[in-house]
Homo-oligomer: A and B are copies of this chain.
Amino acid sequence: MATPKEPAHYIFEMPMRVRDYEVDAQGIVNNANYLHYLEHTRHEFCRMAGMTFAEMHRQGIDPVLRRVEIIYLHSLGLGEEMVSKLNIRRDGARFIFQQDIFKHPGGEPVVRAEVTIVCIENGRLGRGDVLADVFDRFLH
């Protein structure tokens, strides 16, 4: 991610607003909360794609994080709004989400992240084929 380029297109995006308890003593959203925003965006994407996180869990599939790289570009403060955007690609057993958050309005980039997921299927590392089916029309 040495020269992160913003893609021209995202397959999913959702608006969110900072909840004031997410802001820390520095007056900005605490760094860890962006991982919450990113996770929530992925889960809403899964819901839209046709399989909720709860449904995966019932089928014995647990997506788990393998790696996150996140670059903090502009901070968010009390009451601010954002748009959280996402692309996904598959690399063998790994699903790689490109996730970017922008201020709204204004559009300044807030964070840029690459999130790598693998699937634990019935307790062991799986090939992720069920997820690949769910994500089929979005993978590229």
Contacts and interface: CB of A to CB of B under 8 A. Distances in A.
Contact of A67 (B28, B54, B72): B72
Given A69-B69, A72-B65, A72-B67, A19 B36 contact: yes
B35 A31 contact: yes
A21 B43 CA distance: 10
A108 to B, nearest CB: 15
Interface size bracket, A side: 35 or more
Interface stretch (A73-81, A85-93, A94-102, A132-140): A73-81
Interface string A32-49: 110110011001000100
A129 interface: no
Given A35-B35, A78-B57, A64 B28 contact: yes
Contacts of A28: 64
A79 B25 CA distance: 11
A110 interface: no
Given A32-B32, A43-B79, A66-B72, 6 more contacts: A19-B36, A20-B53, A24-B25, A25-B25, A31-B35, A68-B70
